Amino acid sequence: MFCPECKSEYLNHIKSCPDCNISLVETNTMSEPQKINWIKIAEFSGTVYAEMAENILKDNDIPSYTKGDFLSTAYNINALTLPGGSVKLYIPESFQAQAEDLLKNLIEENE
Ligand SMILES: [Zn+2]
């Protein structure tokens, strides 16, 4: 068994981590692909800038995804048609510095 919090390994009959006080997980789940820590790099007031940003990132081999605000996602409405609708742009944390540099001009323009 394995503690997802402190990464300690325990014998199979132990069910929770005495240090973190949380349930242990099966050790074999460790073989899943490395977990990516996604962070919000920017927020755009509409899909146009968000798509431009995504394209810039794609050109530089930086993975990204966008997420609209709750309303536009729930009702499947294009964020552009919603007053105040915003699109958040997420990238893996490891690309933060590079992405900030690439999107600097675009983000300033959007503000
Ligand atoms: Zn622990």
For residue 72, pLDDT beyond 50? no
Ordered by start, the domain boundaries in the chain are 1-32, 38-110
Amino acid at site 81: T
pLDDT at 69: 64
Ligand 1 center to 104 CA (angstroms): 39
Q: Among the residues of 22-85, which ranges form H helices?
A: 47-59, 70-75
Residues 7, 39, 86, 103, Cα dihedral to 10°? -170
Q: Considering only CA atoms, which of 45, 34, 41, 43 is closest in space to residue 80? A: 45
Q: What is the DSSP letter of 9?
A: B
Ligand 1 center to 91 CA (angstroms): 28
- Of 3-7, 43-47, 92-96, which has the strongest mean pLDDT? 92-96
Q: List CB-based neighbours of ion ligand 1 within 5 Å.
A: 3, 5-6, 17, 19-20
Name the β-bridge partners of 88: 43, 67
What are the C-alpha distances in Å from 70 to residues 22, 74, 85?
Answer: 31, 6, 9
Q: What is the average pLDDT across 101-111? A: 77
pLDDT at 59: 96
For residue 76, pLDDT beyond 60? no
Ligand 1 center to 26 CA (angstroms): 13
Ligand 1 center to 4 CA (angstroms): 7
Q: What is the average pLDDT across 60-76? A: 71
pLDDT at 29: 53
For residue 85, pLDDT beyond 60? yes
Q: Which CATH number fits domain 38-110: 3.30.70.1530, 3.40.630.40, 3.40.50.720, 2.40.37.10?
A: 3.30.70.1530
